[in-house]
């Protein structure tokens, strides 16, 4: 029984939120609180299963799961032309996918808990929770699948549900506009991804990532596919100069959905890394592709912090810093690619992956704090806020943790990953390290401005009666802050286990192919 | 578990925290030498504006729009260009995607480009 349960873990992780998504509107007709409870329980179960799956991956190696035919010669479609196509979808979960799964499940669970009070005044909560669960399914599918077309389908699930959630506050024109922009940008990215899939399928009759990686002849068409995939996923990750949708979407979405959008941009970043490292692997030109990533990273960092400095809308400000944070990850991974074969290449990759985890926590926490400020004061503009530390002590403390982490101040988790990034890129090119450090100083200045304008200063008469956030909103922030403190104080606890394994898995193209089809 | 080895050095947050607490204690000890006749809720706590009345709280608080004004003003040429590039129009978003894709095509597909 236990074996059977373990064998079907990936299917359960997808099936439980999917089933709950369609159950939600039905329960909603009976009891609203019951619906919220079911959503949280479903996501809690998914979280536990993801941890169990990750544990399995980190102890026993890559986990393979076939939906449909268990082997290529089993349940198959026989075409008149003589082709035998096994009918199945394969999930391949290695240490990198497992890490992304943990991020997805934890942020989705915290987002659902936070939503309990945050969206209680909206009548369309049934749709909200259905879409939130579908978005979670889309992210899980993207990070678990071993099939390129499957990845496209899950990207679409993620994009459609994400766009609807960005436009959730239908009474506001700006939300609908942001949702529409997100939809157009997502469709454009998905279209180019589909174009790349077509190019690859047309040549090799294959969609499976491992099989494609093994069979690829690295033709001109494969180069065109690579360009389309990099462009699509870089845009979906929010890399500058294709980042402009990010502050719109993050700024207008409910805070709990901004948290989910952080995870979704990281799922796209994961897809980008998977394409580069697993699909094309050792055949990419490290200098060209590495420097492309570095340029994306530098642009994202510089544009992100500069634009954030000018913002007075708190959520847009955090949105721009999220762009800068994506830049740090791309910069580190770019250095890892460009310096492939050197001693610090692996360290740069590990640093980039470590920062993915830390960014999800830091930016996620800051969005939740921004949501609390909006929920209690109704204000989105920093100029309308002040002196809130008097009435919102816990929220202030959580913001300070988020501030320190995102600015990379010791001893937070953000410092640990940024230290590794600085060191590895310094060994590659000191100028890059100087820019990265300067941008972190800017980041500190930006959040000190937020801290001063919103939390410090005299008690404003208009905000004298503001109360602390309700428990359902404090709990997710407390959990995030606690995890950040633990990772900050014991960085090696996560780094030497989860992060290092994820980096090794991402680099091990042969291992990925061998796990899927045997024999690299 | 306590020490992160970066290859070039180490980072031990617990040691950092210990030093932080130690220095905080020293600072508090030094603070103890300060005046102890400060009384809350008296005129001592009022802001002194050369004898003028204290302005309203709303007027005292330095808002976000005023912070870093000097910095953004002196670099306004750069910031204005960046602001103008962020038009908020979806046409421009797509434009940037097309531009980046075109550049990627040129860089990756040129001989000696993306694949080897």
How far apart CA A115 and CA A124 sit, in angstroms, is: 13
Backbone φ and ψ of A69, nearest 5°: -60, 130
On chain B, the residues whose CB falls within 8 A of the CB of A453 are 62-64, 67
The answer to whether the complex's ipTM is over 0.85 is yes
CB-closest option in A185, A234, A310 to B79: A310
**What are the chain B neighbours of A285 within 8 Å (beta carbons)?**
112-116
pLDDT value at residue A70: 66
Q: Report whether pLDDT(A87) > 80.
A: no
The Cα–Cα gap between A294 and A498 comes to: 25
Q: How far is CA A61 from the centre of its chain?
A: 23
Cβ B93–A185 below 8 Å, yes or no? yes
Give the closest residue to A65 by CA, choosing from A147, A2, A135: A147
Q: Name the strand (E) or helix (H) holding B60.
A: helix B57-60
Q: How many residues are present in chain A?
A: 520
Whether B7 sits inside 8 A of A423 (CB atoms) is yes
**Helix, strand, or coil here: A379?**
coil
* Residue ranges covered by each domain of chain A: 285-489
Name the strand (E) or helix (H) holding A307: helix A286-310
- Burial string for A74-86 (b: 16+ CB within 10 Å, else e) reads eebeeeeeeeeeb
pLDDT at A364: 97
What is the mean predicted confidence (pLDDT) over A408-433? 95
The rounded radius of gyration (Å) of the Cα atoms in chain A is 22
Does the beta carbon of B13 lie under 8 angstroms from any beta carbon of chain A?
Answer: yes
Task: Dump pLDDT digits (tens) for A470-493.
Answer: 999 999 999 999 999 999 999 999
Q: What is the mean pLDDT of residues A369-375?
A: 96
Q: Which of B78, B83, B107 sits opposite A292 (nearest CB)?
A: B107
CA distances from A75 to A68, A338, A491, A513 (A): 7, 43, 47, 22
pLDDT of residue A520: 42
User: Is A32's pLDDT higher than 50?
Assistant: yes
Instruction: Name the more confident of A3 and A351.
Output: A351
The pLDDT of residue B38 is above 80: no
CA atoms of A336 and A351, how far apart (whole Å): 9
Q: In the 8-state DSSP scheme, what is residue B65?
A: T
Asked if B68 lies within 8 A of A226 by C-beta distance, the reply is no
Does pLDDT of B9 surpass 80?
A: yes
Check CB contact under 8 Å for A492 and B105.
no
Taking CB atoms and an 8 Å limit, are A223 and B6 in contact across chains? no
pLDDT, residue A73, reads 61
**How does pLDDT run across A112-125, given as a tens digit for each residue?**
999 999 999 888 89
Inform me whether the C-beta atom of residue B46 falls under 8 Å from chain A C-beta atoms: no
Model pLDDT, residue A71: 66
Three-state SS across A166-181? HCCCCCCHHHHHHHHH
């Amino acid at each position: 029984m236990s074996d059977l349960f373990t064998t079907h873990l990936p299917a359960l992780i997808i099936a439980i939120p999917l089933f709950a998504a369609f159950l939600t509107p039905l329960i909603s007709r009976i009891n609203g609180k019951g619906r919220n409870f079911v959503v949280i329980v479903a996501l809690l179960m998914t979280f536990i299963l993801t941890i169990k799956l990750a544990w399995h991956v980190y102890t026993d190696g890559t986990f393979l799961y076939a939906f449909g035919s268990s082997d290529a010669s089993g349940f198959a479609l026989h075409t008149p032309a003589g082709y035998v196509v096994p009918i199945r979808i394969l999930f391949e979960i290695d240490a990198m996918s497992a890490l992304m799964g943990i991020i997805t499940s934890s942020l989705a669970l915290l987002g659902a808990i936070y939503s309990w009070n945050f969206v209680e005044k909206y009548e369309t909560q049934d749709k909200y929770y259905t879409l939130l669960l579908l978005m979670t399914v889309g992210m899980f599918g993207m990070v678990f699948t071993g099939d390129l077309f499957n990845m496209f389908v899950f990207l679409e699930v993620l994009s459609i549900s994400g766009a609807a959630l960005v436009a959730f506050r239908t009474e506001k024109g700006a939300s609908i506009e942001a949702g529409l922009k997100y939809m157009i940008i997502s469709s454009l990215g998905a279209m180019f991804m589909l174009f790349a899939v077509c190019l690859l399928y047309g040549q090799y009759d294959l969609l499976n990532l491992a099989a494609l990686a093994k069979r690829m002849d690295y033709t001109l068409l494969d180069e065109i596919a690579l360009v389309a995939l990099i462009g699509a996923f870089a845009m979906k990750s929010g890399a500058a100069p294709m980042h402009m949708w990010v502050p719109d979407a993050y700024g207008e979405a409910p805070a709990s959905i901004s948290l989910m959008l952080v995870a979704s941009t990281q799922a796209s970043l994961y897809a980008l890394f998977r394409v580069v490292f697993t699909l094309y692997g050792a055949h990419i030109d490290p200098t060209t592709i590495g420097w492309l990533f570095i340029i994306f990273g530098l642009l994202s960092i510089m544009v992100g912090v500069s634009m954030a400095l000018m913002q007075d809308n708190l959520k847009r400000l955090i949105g721009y810093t999220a762009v800068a944070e994506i830049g740090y990850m791309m910069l580190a991974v770019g250095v890892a690619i460009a310096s492939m074969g050197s001693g610090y290449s692996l360290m740069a990759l590990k640093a980039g992956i470590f920062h993915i985890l830390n960014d999800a926590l830091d930016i996620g926490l800051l969005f939740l704090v921004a949501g609390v400020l909006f929920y209690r004061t109704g204000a989105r503009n920093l100029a309308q806020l002040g002196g809130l530390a008097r009435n919102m002590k816990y929220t202030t403390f959580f913001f300070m943790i988020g501030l320190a982490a995102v600015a990379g101040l010791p001893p937070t988790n953000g410092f640990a990953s940024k230290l590794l990034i600085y060191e590895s890129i310094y060994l590659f090119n000191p100028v890059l390290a100087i820019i990265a450090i300067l941008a972190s100083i800017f980041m500190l200045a930006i959040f000190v401005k937020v801290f001063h304008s919103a939390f410090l200063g005299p008690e404003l008469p208009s905000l004298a009666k503001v109360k602390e956030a309700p428990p359902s909103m404090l709990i997710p922030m407390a959990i995030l802050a606690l995890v950040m403190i633990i990772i900050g104080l014991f960085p090696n606890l996560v780094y030497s286990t989860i992060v290092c394994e994820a980096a090794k898995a991402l680099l091990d193209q042969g291992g990925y192919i061998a796990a899927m089809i045997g024999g690299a | 578990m306590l020490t992160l080895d970066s290859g070039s050095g180490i980072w031990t947050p617990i040691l950092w925290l210990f030093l932080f607490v130690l220095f905080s204690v020293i600072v508090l000890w030094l603070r103890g030498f300060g005046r102890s006749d400060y009384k809350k809720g008296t005129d001592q706590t009022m802001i002194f504006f050369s004898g003028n009345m204290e302005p309203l709280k709303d007027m005292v608080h330095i808002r976000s729009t005023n912070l870093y004004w000097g910095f953004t003003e002196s670099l306004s040429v750069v910031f204005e260009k960046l602001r103008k590039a962020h038009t908020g129009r979806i046409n421009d978003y797509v434009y940037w995607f097309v531009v980046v894709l075109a550049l990627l095509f040129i860089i990756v597909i040129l001989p000696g480009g993306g694949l080897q």
